[in-house]
Chain A
Amino acid sequence: MDYTSKNKTEQNDMLKTIGINCIKDLFVNIPRNLVLNKLNICHGNTEQEILTHLHNVAKKNKILISFRGAGIYDHYIPALVKEIVNRSEFRTSYTPYQAEASQGTLQAIFEYQSLICALTDLDVSNASLYDGATAVVEAILMSIRYKKTKKILISEALNPEYIKVIITYFKHLEVDLIFLETTNGIIDNNTLLNKLDDNTTAVVIQSPNYFGLIENMKSLCYWTKKFNSLFIAVVNPLSLGVFCTPGEYNADIAVGENQGLGSPMSFGGTTCGFIVTKKSLAWRLPGRIVGQTKDIKGERGFVLTMQSREQHIRRVNATSNICTNASLNALASCVFLSGWGSKGFKKLAEVNIAKAKYTFKQIKSLNGFSSKFGDQTFFNEFVIKTTKDINKINKILLYNNILGPLNLSNANANAKLKNCMLFCVTEQRTKSEIDSLIEILKTI
């Protein structure tokens, strides 16, 4: 089936208006000898057939109780979020080029930008980026253009997916990417100071970092500023209900992934990156930005603004090549963030900590399991070292419909993380789920 609507008579009328005899004539400019006589695609299906087929395919996926994070998280999505993002008026519109006919999307993005600013204590957010990884890339690009140097210090405890993407983007651009080693899971001031110099463009630190640990962002940022370098904070937005904000420690740019704010895990996409900065760097931001303005009657309205940064105007000199971004996910984040209230949002972060901490305490008291990084502060992820076979642990957990911890054994070249695994516990996990995880681990 298809979704075209014309009958034969209409089609013939149209051909006549065009002045040709048959549909074929529409394609006369195309090299004759290359026109296909067959397309190697299966026959079409009805909706019902599709549903049957897709249900069968879906059965090949297994739904698990997740104790795994590492960049994509199982968080609760309130019904309201789903209700709003499913509205076709949002879903089936394009980038809001015609502002007067797109005030819904534009105002929602303006609200999103405002909420991201409130959350991070920074001044200017854009409308969204592809994901957390490319958001870090864009932040680095901003800093390179601003400082006109190309030396970037990056925490090795940055999410490895992000590190891989950064390397892909920068290895051919003669950018000096220097990785900072962790000490007991976090970046030590001295490690940073050993590498910092006046030539350093920016320092990229993730907190909570890949191991779930909270970095001492205040002092890392303080020292970075002493060398006039930019500080790029990679943060989990949910953690900011409780932990020190990029604005508080004076970061220049904060970036991260919005998936946890109202978008399902969906196999790691659709993702949505956020980027937020200080006023002084606003014109260097990539991508769409929505601004408030007035109409000819003096009424408030919203438009895409500061567009002279963008590819459709600046072309080779644009701040980024991004065009389509992740607007609908930003809308989800907007609806998500607007429903908790300040106290509720803080509580949500605290529940994550409480559940993760409870799990952590239980596991490290088991025989053969210990905390890799002592009693350092973490958000909803932590690393456990074990004397047991991690693959076997995960196999047994899987048998019990549990997605166990991520095996970090091979994650680090110098074997620092041998026999280590990364657990994640969000507000979604109930006490009884956690307790059965513990019971199973006991038996291994």
Chain B
Amino acid sequence: MEKLLNEISTCCQPAYDISCDINIEINIPSNLQRCSSLHFPNITESDLLRHFTNLSRNNYALSTTFYPLGSCTMKHNPLISEQVARHYRFNQIHPYQDELTIQGNLEIMYKLEQDLCAISGMDYFTLQPAAGAHGELTGLLIIAKYFETIKQKRTTVIIPDSAHGTNPSSAMLAGFNVITLDSTHDGQINIDKLKQLLNENVAAIMLTVPNTLGVFEKNILTITELAHNNGTIMYYDGANLNAIVGIIKPGDLGFDIMHINLHKTFAAPHGGGGPGSGPVGVKKFLEPFLPIPRIINNKTHFVFNYEKHQSIGKIKAFFGNFPVILKSYVYIKLLGAEGLINSTKQAVLNANYMLAKLRDNIDVPGGHKCLHEFVLSLKSILKNGVKTVDVAKRLLDYGYYAPTIYFPLIVEESIMMEPTETESKQTLDKFIEIFKIIIFKEMLDESDKIKCAPHTTIVRRLDEVIAARNPVLRW
């Protein structure tokens, strides 16, 4: 295990230095000065380089291994996007430069908004939100503002129990009460229950399509119709958009508003937990409420428009996570219509192929067909005290990152696999072979080996209970 920075600190010359070509007394009044001593480490550039390089090697990453983390769409991130995003003409731009000096950035944002409209069937997009959950909140605030404007008091949002945790927590933050809708045994929306819950108080229904079991919502058109007849807005959580790009548009299914995770479907890398970008798209009637500023094309050039009196306001300082936006712009330009459509097909093919190789021996609550990902329930095959988490940890020993486990909450001992389109058949075959060895062989013969996995990682199984009970959160 790599030492901590404070442990490698010496009294050497630190890595960076600064000079000043101006000689001036700075004279800070003593009551405003820092009196405490600053405990920063002193480490040379070469030692720091080793430290952080070694740390990086303690990560499994998409660039080192198969990363079938369901719901996260860990597809290959084209390298050219990185190169472009590092270009100084994009990087060294201040957000408050005159519009005429940022036409390149504005053009990219404007065109990405248009491409996202074409892909989603929405009429307008904002690129301001910084991640999916931030997009959800933006969308819900737009919905709240809409009802306020048409003078209807609607206070609840319906969210299925299969939804991601950010959905209910965003709804709460937007000031709504959440009604949880129980799914049917195969993860679909229960239409009868939905009918019972729908009343004049329901502002929106938030759905993930395909749902978090990776299955298309078979009654989706009925659902959107029911909602619209009730004056309720349909919200689309775009985390699973990778399943349908170029095949069908959420807008055509009757969704009124949605967010997209650029760091999933549109190949911006996730950075170990962000930065992301969560653009929000709306149908025309919700456009007045989008965050300001809007970018408009006034024929000769692009300009900001702050004059939108019904807007929810700003949801983030400045305009959005531009480098992430740029990477997705590049991605769409690289692939084009054919590439995007083919990617969707291959993503769905890969997932179904994996599922086909596993479905005969393992419970699949969503059924034997899926879209871009699928969820298995290991409950009925777990033996000798092995749990799903143990299986996940054992996969690490074979060099794979583990699929998502224990989500969605509606499936017991769930394991959710999303191969994405950029994995080869060989990779999938090898992974399935190993997965089967673990659950059908090792679980019977060597269950202890699974239960105390991983064995080959930089650290062995870590104790999360101690960590939470006795938090040590800094050196």
Contact = CB atoms under 8 A, between A and B. Distances in A.
Interface residues of A, number: 201
Nearest to A9: B425
Contact of B38 (A70, A100, A345, A353): A345
Given A29-B216, A95-B270, A311 B462 contact: no
Interface string B20-60: 11111010110111111111111101001100110111111
A339 B45 contact: yes
A386 interface: no
Interface in B116-130: 118-119, 130
Given A165-B316, A167-B313, A348-B18, A42 B270 contact: no
B417 interface: no
A398 B101 CA distance: 9
B293 to A, nearest CB: 11
Interface string A177-213: 0000000000000000000000000000000000000
A270 B38 contact: no
Contact of A124 (B84, B148, B349, B473): B473
A335 B272 contact: no
Contacts of B32: 214, 216, 243-244, 377
Given A2-B335, A310-B165, A266 B133 contact: no
A69 to B, nearest CB: 8
Nearest to A264: B91
A370 B239 CA distance: 53
Interface in A210-261: 214, 216, 218, 240-245, 247-248, 257
A3 B76 contact: yes
Given A31-B221, A36-B248, A243-B34, A114 B323 contact: no
When A and B form their complex, which 6 residue pairs have the shortest distance between CB atoms, in order from nearest?
Answer: A268-B318, A44-B336, A268-B95, A328-B271, A327-B273, A341-B14
B396 A101 contact: yes
A78 B43 CA distance: 14
B396 A100 contact: yes
Contacts of B104: 57-61
Nearest to B311: A168
B474 A117 contact: yes
Interface in A124-165: 124-125, 127-128, 130-134, 141, 159, 161-162, 164-165
Contacts of B21: 430-431
A103 B458 contact: yes
Given A107-B58, A324-B131, A340-B40, 10 more contacts: A60-B103, A61-B102, A92-B270, A103-B55, A242-B33, A305-B468, A311-B166, A318-B165, A324-B133, A341-B40
B59 A133 contact: no
Given A44-B335, A94-B272, A346 B345 contact: no
Most A CB contacts (10 A, CB to CB) among B118, B144, B274, B467 go to B274
A14 B353 contact: yes
B284 interface: no
Most B CB contacts (10 A, CB to CB) among A3, A133, A328 go to A3
